[in-house]
Amino acid sequence: MSQAPGPVPAADFVVFGGTGDLAARKLLPALYLRDRDGQLPPETRIIALSRAGLDDGGYRDKIRGELSRFVRTGELDDAVVDRFVARLSHVSIDIEHEEGWSILVEKLDDDERVRVFYLAIGPDLFGRVSERLADHGLVTPSSRLVLEKPIGHDLASALEINDAVGAVFEEHQIFRIDHYLGKESVQNLLVTRFANTFLEPLWNANCIDHVQITASESIGVGSRGGYYDQSGALRDMIQNHLLQLLCLVAMEPPTYVGKENVRDEKLKVLQALRPIVGEEVDRSVVAGQYSPGLVDGEPVPSYQTETERPGSTTETFVAIKAEVQNWRWAGVPFYLRTGKRMERRISEIVIQFKAVPHPMFPGSEGTSEPNRLVIQLQPDEGMRLHMTAKEPGPGGIRLRPVSLDLSYAHAFQRQSPDAYERLLMDVVRGNPTLFMRRDEVEAAWTWVEPILDRWSRPDHRPRPYPSGTNGPSAATTLLERDSRSWPE
């Protein structure tokens, strides 16, 4: 029998950007669902801040509407919605003007209660908002600061942000969200590796040929063109989500899973990544940008048309051959790939084992495929182990690929919660394991930066790929050069 999660301490959630997209789509639905499951004590309050000029009633009405859009119908309960919206209030604030701040100061009257300052706003404001919180005496020992990615757009800006927020909050109070770490399937990766014995002896360069990590999306950039065109897939997905997945695949077993141990081990992986610098970038990294095509049978425009940015050189696709330079992984490439407007939405990790050393079944040469463990993160969480079996029947031994399939939906008979549900409760509990520590973020930027530098040259152009495909052909060539291929 599974246990219902216990309540967390009462908290004041103070959401900067309270009328924004992230609050509507993710944060408030996640808090609603935690309320529905009894995890929020009655005193928990959510104070939304924005420049929208709404009163409490107007904000509550707005969020009622948003919940019906972003929470699945079967999960909406009128009584819980009423209880939840009663926790909400709205303060109109311009961070440089005093008016809104005095209202906030008045509202935050319990210094003992956990305070969660959630900055669902641009990273250029992280430092200034922290400073203003301190100016108004709002930062208590039980306060936490939650920062959304991206933390900066390069190493220098990340250092600047980390210094600015670090001048106000202790590192243990800062929770840098990478929502991939809150996905059930990503946490399960740790459990699969370390709560089972059979994988760990094989999990190294002796048995593994290479690793592939793919996060492909069929959606385009949509209304996020303003942000995305400044960012691109390398900053938006690789610097954080894909490198975090790589860390979880490659890290050494921590002594136990708690507080700093997991983050210590992930940091070592980031620091062991072989730098890709100068001309090496042209060989080991592929940038692409979607052109018109068909997605799910529907015609879609190019990135440049969709974002109204003709001539943009922002990449919507990246493939990289990375290497972790340590004893366990010497010589094992980690191929990373992410893109928008790809053929389908899928995130998966493929662990490709080495081929058998000697074909011993007569006539079987070339018919035995190496084992492959596929860990599917989304849309359907599960795991498949590709093996070789004997085809039933007389007349010799014929080898056939078969797979052992584990579907989590089937095994556990329920849907996984959204990543934000878990992460927000961890913030209140003060558990930092699933958040990025300052040194991790900086190590990730350190690795990514030479690639950004190479791409900042005036002649750099991402390779076009038709929407609805698996990216530019150069990404296929990247693996073919190593006599390997992406599993399609």
For ligand BG6, the binding residues (CB under 6 A) are: 217, 236, 347
Q: Which is nearer to ligand BG6, 12 or 426 (CB)?
A: 426
Q: Which is nearer to ligand BG6, 364 or 416 (CB)?
A: 416
Secondary structure, 3-state, the chain: CCCCCCCCCCEEEEEECCCCHHHHHHHHHHHHHHHHCCCCCCCCEEEEEECCCCCHHHHHHHHHHHHHHHCCHHHCCHHHHHHHHCCEEEEECCCCCHHHHHHHHHHCCCCCCEEEEEECCCHHHHHHHHHHHHHCCCCCCCEEEEECCCCCCCHHHHHHHHHHHHCCCCHHHEEECCHHHHCHHHHHHHHHHHCCCCCHHHCCCCCEEEEEEEEECCCCCHHHHHHHHHHHHHHHHHHHHHHHHHHHHHCCCCCCCCCCHHHHHHHHHHHHECCCCCCHHHHHEEEEEEECEEECCEEECCHHHHCCCCCCCCCCEEEEEEEECCCCCCCCEEEEEEECCECCCEEEEEEEECCCCCCCCCCCCCCCCCCEEEEEEECCCEEEEEEEEECCCCCCCCEEEEEEEEEHHHHHCCCCCCHHHHHHHHHHHCCCCCCECHHHHHHHHHHHHHHHHHHCCCCCCCEEEECCECCCHHHHHHHHCCCCCCCC
Q: Which residues contact 135 (CB under 8 A, 6 or more apart)?
A: none
CB of 307 to ligand BG6, least distance (A): 13
CB of 287 to ligand BG6, least distance (A): 16
CB of 290 to ligand BG6, least distance (A): 13
Q: Which is nearer to ligand BG6, 44 or 347 (CB)?
A: 347
CB of 217 to ligand BG6, least distance (A): 6
The tokens of 16 are what? 């900067």
CB of 236 to ligand BG6, least distance (A): 5
Let me know if 241 is a catalytic residue.
yes
Positive or negative: CA dihedral 97, 99, 105, 108:
negative
Q: Which is nearer to ligand BG6, 12 or 178 (CB)?
A: 178
Torsion angle, CA of 157/163/167/173, rounded to 10 degrees?
Answer: 90
Report which residue's Cβ sits closest to ligand BG6. 236
Q: Which is nearer to ligand BG6, 134 or 219 (CB)?
A: 219
Q: Which is nearer to ligand BG6, 81 or 248 (CB)?
A: 248
The tokens of 487 are what? 């599993």
Q: Which is nearer to ligand BG6, 92 or 214 (CB)?
A: 214
Which one of 90, 153, 241, 386 is the catalytic residue?
241
**124 and 97 Cβ atoms separated by less than 8 Å:** no
Distance CA(26)–CA(31), nearest Å, equals: 9
Q: Which is nearer to ligand BG6, 133 or 419 (CB)?
A: 419
CB of 426 to ligand BG6, least distance (A): 17
Q: Which residues are catalytic?
A: 241
